[in-house]
Amino acid sequence: MAEMAIDYSDIQLARSRIARYWKHPTPVVRWRAFEERTDVSGLRIYVKCENLGPTGSFKLRGALNAVLALSEHEARHGVATHSSGNHGAALAYAARIRGVPVTIVVPKGASRRKTDLIRQWGGTIVECEPTQAGREDALARVVREQGSVAIPPYDWAPVMAGQGTVTDEFLDEIPALDYLLIPVGGGGLISGAAIVARMRRPSIQLIGVEPQGANDTLRSLERGMRVPHPAPMTVADGLKAFVGELTFPIIQKMVDRVVDVTEAEITKMMLQCLEELRMVVEPSSATVFAALTKERLTPGSRVGLILSGGNVDQTLWERLFAS
């Protein structure tokens, strides 16, 4: 068994770093409408609201930890990444906090909402072809020309440690969680969660959730090795990423199971959460709410859901409300 990329002390260190710039933990609210609707008696459903953080997703935690962990020397020419989503906005915000320049490589056709956020926080945008090769080439060029440090979105120990702080805060507030449901894209959020939970609450059931259209982690677990999805396609664009080299072994060893949900289940749940939670739940997060309705849970359990983000394009709402 390979050693894990991070341990709990990395997450504690990340938490102390982040806390200087982002004071309040994100709120935890109850999903009472679900509790009242379910046949399972005595369930308590707790939602950790990462959508209410400064950039509207948990991604700021990993980006901030990674940027703050750089030495003065490393940080002097700034940071860069490729991202069509929340990681880019988070890195732009984190770099502004550190006071270093930041460039985000963004595939052509990326959502206007996301690029607006990056610009708002002072990030420079470089467009690239919307392929994995196009993204990597463009980022390599930026790093070479600027001397900046590339901060990967998930397969990077300081990023994983930062994402672990979500679950560390969650367990401070609700220590006796019996289940924790977490969306799985590249695996940064769930690997951080697993490291924390196995240390602080070993009995917790950790359940990862993917869209069927990008269920590479589920397939990889079945095969016992990392297997990419042949053609990831889902409204949950934050979950299209291929599970990482560093994150996969942690998931394999420490997560109880990974389940998947359909596109229709995801979009239906976005509308239901808008009504019942009075919050915006982006498609990547709606996966865990959808999975909850299919899981067989023990009566009387305390269930934690990570609402990972709330950045939704207006065009998606238009589509959902028109149908």
Catalytic residues: 59, 84
Contact between 186 and its own copies per CB under 8 A: no
- Least spacing, CB of residue 229 vs its own copies, in Å: 28
**What is residue 166's three-state secondary structure?**
helix
Among 16, 19, 32, 109, binds its own copies (CB under 8 A): 32
Contact between 322 and its own copies per CB under 8 A: yes
Among 3, 144, 224, 321, binds its own copies (CB under 8 A): 321
Q: Is 73 exposed, middle or buried (0-12, 13-18, 19+ CB in 10 A)?
A: exposed
Residue 6 · residue 154 · CB < 8 Å:
no
Q: Positive or negative, the Cα torsion across 122, 72, 91, 241?
A: positive
Q: Are strands 179-183 and 302-307 parallel, antiparallel or unpaired?
A: parallel
- Least spacing, CB of residue 274 vs its own copies, in Å: 6
Q: Which residues pair with 257 in a beta bridge?
A: 207
Please identify, using beta-carbon distances, which residue of 118 and 195 lies nearer to its own copies. 118
Please identify, using beta-carbon distances, which residue of 47 and 80 lies nearer to its own copies. 47
Residue 286 · residue 210 · CB < 8 Å:
no
Q: Which 291-310 residues touch its own copies, going by CB under 8 A?
A: 310
Q: Positive or negative, the Cα torsion across 257, 260, 265, 266?
A: positive
Please identify, using beta-carbon distances, which residue of 204 and 281 lies nearer to its own copies. 281
CA–CA distance, 312 with 85 (Å, rounded to integer): 10
Binding mask 252-291 for its own copies (x = CB under 8 A): -------------------x--xx-xxxx-----------
**What is residue 259's three-state secondary structure?**
strand
Which tokens belong to 64? 């901030």
Contact between 113 and its own copies per CB under 8 A: yes
Binding mask 55-74 for its own copies (x = CB under 8 A): -x------------------
Binding site for its own copies (CB under 8 A): 27, 29-30, 32-33, 36, 49, 51-52, 54, 56, 113, 120, 271, 274-275, 277-280, 310-312, 314, 317-318, 321-322
